[in-house]
Every structure is written in structure tokens, then in C-alpha cells.
């Protein structure tokens, strides 16, 4: 016999259908978890005398079951794994199997004699497989685990000694999901509904359709829907759960009878509501699965947006694809290709009545107009139903919009951003020369602490252009302890006084270190060069011509007067003969670049 490994039920059934005409001496036997026990027994049992068997299985046949008489294995190299999507729960997605899995599959060939394994990929592909499958707890939906723990009285899952601890984000998402289903209260404690859900042998999302029902008829209908989704194959494979319910209710097979009896026990004997109410039943329990068609996304598949935010797809030829609203009971596939497996139509009125409808005020920063524009949005979950302009967003919303823009674009968005750059450069200089008592601050750190120093500067109503240079400088340095603030002004002053008397701003961001600039004449008479940081850092002085073009750059003015000045002055006398170019600038009187005539005039001082 031959054992074929395929990733899931859909591929198995398709392959089995294509192999049906091989002849009477070939038995084609599917094998997957949702199969009825009798059909599983047929797949596992030896082939009758004179016949051969092709077993088409999921990875359930890797090690869980022993199949008699297998002499050959055909391996697709694929597996279906549970993968959690934060925006929409867990789905089964197809991935390449691990090396451990494909080796296990190969070992199923010829366990009692010689065998052969056909791998549907090249040997290079085997080397690229991961060594072991990732533990399921790292990627699966944790709703059921958290519900079981809550039933046992354990709400602190993070305290349990897991071999592989589930990610904190998954735990938080599972807790939020159970709160939304009504299984847990806001403190994480089990509710009466949650206790009933935990007693039902199914996923929490299915149990919610039973335990959360509004009346006995809806409870019985929810039990039937849960049975159909949990036991695949019954009622057919239509995406319209109403069609499957109709077939299920008339199914006289032993499996159908058994499942109806089980659903009746879950329903506590109540008669089921009409199948036409399936949409309301699903939406009442799974409000995040209320879905609206997305008209902007055309093509062969109809796209729907769930209230949870996830986008799911339905074959465009399906009768349900004409429905503007659906209640989705079952989905398969990853985030990019999630397909609706079971759903029912829902009227817009029922969607609005059962869904989480709220009005949300939002704002965004308009970079061209440098203002905050607001919108009032009506949403059902994350589905946008409509929007209108919001002329005056609240101060809190406006501040949030400004901060979001700053985090996206950086503090350069502020009109006087240079004041921040200067302050950070001053602090970095102090830390570099005076030690780690000076904090390491950068723009990312400032953005992280924007609530402390920037938000108060935005004012009321908040405006990104309200903070002045002085405001921003004080805001940044205000993050320091008071003694460090005072020392910073002493060690790295904002300005120095030139010999001519004018206050010169120090540029702490200049290439080569802190720099000041002024006309040459403003520094006449200077015999000692300016230095900051307790004399450790000489300022770079940019000397300018009367036309304010740089003619020299120095960190030693007295040395410059004695050397380079002479050649510079010679050139300047020919270019600017009316200006003052003394032979001994160290002894000359400083002034703000006046001409000789003005220096010798009656108003000269």
C-alpha cells in the first residue's frame, strides 16, 4: 500500500476524488482528524487480500497511528499548522514541514520490510527545512488554555512553569478574546457564562454560541452550528451555514444521528430556531466576526472586513458573495489569504444592533497647513461606517495627533527644532568631557518623554508652532536635575560676549565643535581665546569679512593675530580698503566692522 502525506482535509479530498477511477483493486482511503471513527478504521486496517490501498493522510499518520502494509510513502513536504493572527484570531496555514517531520514520514515506509519514500522536492530543499517544528503553544490560539486555567482558579498564566512560555502578546490577546466572549470579567475571573463554556467540549468561540444564547431556540441553533464546524464534513462544504444546517437536519447516517443527539444534549433539549436566524446567532456570540463587504476590493474573490479588523475572502461565485453583511463562524488561512468557511447573511439593522457600535473622535496633523484636522467616525468594531469633519477636536485628541506626527517624522517637524539640537549637543558635550553624571539624551529619548516636557508647551488649543526656541530649550534642559541645569549654563553657555560688546550665539552642532562667528573687527584686542567646559574646549571662531563671508577659522585667536592674520589682512586691505585692518589687531580697539571714516568721525566711541 501507499501512504501519501498532504497538508489538510481540502487537499486530501481533492486528491481522493481524482484517484477514484484507478480500478476496483485499489482502495483510496482519506485519513484526517475530523474523519468519522469508522472511516479512520478503514484507512488504518490492512488492505483486503488481492487489493492495494492508497491512504491519503495529514501529519496525523506521522506517528499517532500505525497503518498496516505500507511499502511506499509519497510526501508533499507540507503541513498545516495553527498560526495566530493578532487582528483576527487563529487560523490553519500551510507551511513546509520540518526535517524531523519528513524523516518521521519516511520512516513509515516499509516498517515490516523494504520500502521507498518519494519526496516531492529536491535534496537541496531538505537542507533548507527547519530542524524541528516550533512548539504549538508559541503560535496557536490560547483562548482554550486560558479558559481552562481560569476554571481551575489560575488567572496568572505567566507564573506557570511552561517548558516553552507562550508569548505575552498572545496571552493578552487570548484574555481580551475571552472577555469579549463574556467568559472572563475585566479582572480575568471566570464568569457564569465562562464556567458553562469551559464545560463544553469545543473551542471557546463555538461554546459562546451555546452559552451566550439569548433564548433556548438560539441556544439549540448555536449547538448545531458548533457541531457542524467542529465536525467537518457533515452537512456538506458550502460556505453558507444555512445550507449545511438544512442537510445536517435531514442526515440519517449514524454519524449524523450521533452528532444531532450530541447537539441536543448541549442545547438541553430545546428545539432549534430556524436556520435563517443563523446570522443573528453567530453575530450575538462572535461580535468581532460581524463582516461587511469591501466594495473597493474587486476581483474573483469578494473581500469582507471583520469587526476585529481582519480581511477575509469569499469566492465571488458563492451565493453569499452578494450579501453586504455576514456573520462569519469559521475562517481558514493566513492573514493575507484568509477564507470564509462558514457564514450566514446578516441584515445591517442586526449588525448595528448586535455589534459594538461607537462614535470615535480622531485627529491628524496636516503637515502642509501645520494644523490639526479632526474627524468624527462611526465604527462597528474596526469597520468604518461613516465620518464627518470635527471642527474643534478636543485638546487631548489634538495633542495626540501632534505627538503621532512627531514620532513619525521626528522633532524636526517643530518650527524651532534647532533649539533642541543645540540643547542635545550641549548635553552630549558635557557628558563627553565631564562624565556620566550627565544623562545620555537623544531625540528618541525626548520623544519617549514628550508628555513630560513637550506637551505642556503646546498650549491650549494645542499648536505645534507655539513653542518658541526658549520654550524648547527650557523644556529639554528641564529634564535635568536643578543643579545640573545651573551647571550646564555655566559650563556650556548659550552665548559669549565679543570684545566689541555684541553677544554671540554658540553653535554647538557645528562641524569641528562649538563655534561662534563674527566680523574680524569684533575680535580686535582679544589676547585670550574663549574656552568652555572649565577651559577644556576652545571655541572655534569663524572670522568674517565685511560682507560676512568666512575668511579664517581658528581655535587660537592670539596665535592667529601673530601669524595668519597678516596674509589675510593684506588681501582684505585690497578688497575692503575703507575698513579697518590694523597692523597689531591684538592691541586694536574692537568694533562692529565700521569703516575708517566712521571710526574717526565725531560719533565714534
d(CA 157, CA 143): 12
Contact between 396 and 363 (Cβ < 8 Å):
no
3-class SS of residue 269: coil
pTM over 0.75: no
Residue 379: what pLDDT? 96
Residues 423-433 have pLDDT tens digits of 999 999 999 99
Residue 605: what pLDDT? 42
Band (pLDDT 50/70/90 cuts) for residue 108 is confident
Q: What is the DSSP letter of 98?
A: P
- 341 is written with which cell numbers? 468557511
Classify residue 576 by burial, with Cβ atoms within 10 Å: 0-12, 13-18, 19+.
middle
Contact between 191 and 198 (Cβ < 8 Å):
no
Does position 35 have pLDDT exceeding 80, yes or no? no
β-partners of residue 303 are 313
Q: Give whole-number Cα distances, 210 to 88, 113, 193, in Å.
A: 21, 51, 10
Residue 90: what pLDDT? 56
Task: Please tell me whether the peptide bond between 461 and the residue prior to it is cis, using omega within 30 degrees of 0.
Answer: yes
Domains of the chain, residue spans: 2-134, 200-355, 411-491, 508-600
Tell me how crowded residue 201 is: count the other CB atoms within 10 A of its CB: 10
When mean pLDDT is compared across 63-67, 87-91, 203-207, 480-484, the lowest value belongs to 87-91
Residue 603: what pLDDT? 47
Mean pLDDT of 435-447: 93
Choice between 19 and 155, residue whose per-residue pLDDT is larger: 19
Residue 154: what pLDDT? 81
Helix 216-230 × helix 254-266 angle, to 10°: 140
d(CA 414, CA 227): 59
Contact between 337 and 362 (Cβ < 8 Å):
no
CATH domain 2-134 topology:
Rossmann fold (3.40.50)
Residues 205-234 have pLDDT tens digits of 999 999 999 999 999 999 999 999 987 777
The set of residues, in sequence order, having a beta carbon less than 8 Å from that of 432 and lying 6+ positions away, is none
d(CA 143, CA 310): 18
- State the pairing for strand pair 495-497/503-505: antiparallel
Any idea what the Cα angle at residue 338 is, between residues 336 and 343, rounded to 5°? 155
Amino acid at each position: 500500500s501507499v501512504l501519501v502525506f498532504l497538508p489538510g482535509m481540502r487537499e486530501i479530498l481533492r486528491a481522493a476524488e481524482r484517484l477514484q477511477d484507478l480500478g476496483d483493486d485499489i482502495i483510496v482511503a482519506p485519513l484526517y482528524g475530523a474523519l468519522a471513527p469508522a472511516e479512520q478504521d478503514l484507512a488504518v486496517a490492512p488492505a483486503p487480500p488481492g487489493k492495494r490501498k492508497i491512504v491519503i493522510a495529514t501529519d496525523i499518520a506521522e506517528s499517532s497511528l500505525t497503518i498496516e502494509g505500507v511499502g511506499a510513502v509519497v510526501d508533499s513536504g507540507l503541513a498545516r499548522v495553527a498560526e495566530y493572527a493578532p487582528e483576527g484570531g487563529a487560523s490553519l496555514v500551510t507551511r513546509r514541514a520540518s526535517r524531523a517531520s519528513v524523516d518521521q514520514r519516511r520512516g513509515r515506509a516499509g516498517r515490516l520490510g523494504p520500502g521507498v519514500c518519494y519526496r516531492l522536492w529536491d535534496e537541496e530543499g531538505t537542507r533548507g527545512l527547519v530542524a524541528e517544528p516550533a512548539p504549538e503553544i508559541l503560535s496557536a490560539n490560547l483562548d482554550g488554555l486560558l479558559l481552562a486555567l481560569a476554571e481551575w482558579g489560575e488567572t496568572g498564566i505567566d507564573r506557570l512553569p511552561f517548558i516553552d512560555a507562550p508569548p505575552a502578546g498572545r496571552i493578552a490577546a487570548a484574555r481580551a478574546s475571552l472577555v469579549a466572549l463574556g467568559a472572563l470579567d475585566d479582572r480575568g475571573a471566570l464568569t457564569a457564562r465562562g464556567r458553562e463554556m469551559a464545560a463544553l467540549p469545543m473551542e471557546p468561540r463555538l461554546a459562546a454560541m451555546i452559552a451566550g444564547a439569548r433564548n433556548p431556540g438560539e441556544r439549540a441553533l448555536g449547538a448545531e452550528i458548533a457541531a457542524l464546524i467542529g465536525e467537518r464534513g457533515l452537512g456538506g462544504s458550502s460556505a453558507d451555514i444555512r445550507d449545511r444546517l438544512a442537510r445536517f437536519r435531514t442526515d440519517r447516517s449514524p454519524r449524523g444521528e450521533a452528532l444531532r443527539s450530541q447537539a441536543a444534549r448541549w442545547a438541553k433539549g430545546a428545539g432549534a430556531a430556524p436556520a435563517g436566524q443563523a446570522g443573528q446567532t453567530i453575530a450575538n456570540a462572535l461580535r468581532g466576526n460581524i463582516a461587511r463587504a469591501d466594495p473597493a476590493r474587486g476581483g474573483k474573490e469578494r473581500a469582507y472586513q471583520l469587526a476585529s479588523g481582519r480581511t477575509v475572502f469569499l469566492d465571488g461565485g458563492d451565493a453569499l458573495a452578494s450579501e453586504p453583511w455576514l456573520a462569519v463562524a469559521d475562517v481558514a488561512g493566513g492573514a493575507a489569504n484568509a477564507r470564509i468557511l462558514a457564514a450566514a447573511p446578516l441584515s445591517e439593522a442586526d449588525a448595528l444592533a448586535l455589534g459594538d457600535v461607537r462614535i470615535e473622535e480622531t485627529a491628524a496633523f496636516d503637515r502642509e497647513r501645520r494644523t490639526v484636522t479632526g474627524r468624527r467616525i462611526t465604527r462597528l468594531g474596526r469597520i468604518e461606517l461613516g465620518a464627518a469633519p470635527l471642527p474643534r477636536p478636543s485638546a487631548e485628541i489634538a495633542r495626540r495627533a501632534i505627538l503621532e506626527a512627531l514620532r513619525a517624522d521626528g522633532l524636526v517637524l517643530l518650527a524651532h527644532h534647532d533649539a533642541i539640537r543645540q540643547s542635545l549637543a550641549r548635553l552630549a558635550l558635557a557628558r563627553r568631557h565631564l562624565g556620566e553624571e550627565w544623562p545620555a539624551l537623544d531625540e528618541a529619548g525626548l520623544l519617549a518623554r514628550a508628555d513630560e516636557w513637550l506637551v505642556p508647551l503646546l498650549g491650549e488649543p494645542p499648536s505645534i508652532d507655539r513653542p518658541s526656541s526658549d520654550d524648547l530649550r527650557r523644556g529639554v534642559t528641564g529634564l535635568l536635575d536643578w543643579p545640573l541645569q545651573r551647571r550646564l549654563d555655566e559650563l556650556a553657555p548659550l552665548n559669549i560676549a565679543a570684545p566689541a560688546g555684541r553677544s554671540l550665539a554658540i553653535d554647538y552642532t557645528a562641524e569641528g565643535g562649538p563655534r561662534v562667528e563674527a566680523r574680524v573687527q569684533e575680535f580686535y584686542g582679544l589676547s585670550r581665546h574663549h574656552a568652555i567646559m572649565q577651559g577644556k574646549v576652545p571655541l572655534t571662531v569663524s572670522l568674517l569679512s565685511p560682507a560676512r563671508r568666512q575668511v579664517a577659522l581658528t581655535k587660537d585667536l592670539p596665535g592667529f593675530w601673530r601669524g595668519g592674520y597678516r596674509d589675510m589682512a593684506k588681501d582684505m586691505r585690497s578688497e575692503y580698503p575703507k575698513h579697518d585692518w590694523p597692523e597689531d589687531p591684538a592691541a586694536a580697539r574692537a568694533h562692529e566692522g565700521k569703516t575708517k571714516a566712521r571710526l574717526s568721525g565725531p560719533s565714534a566711541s
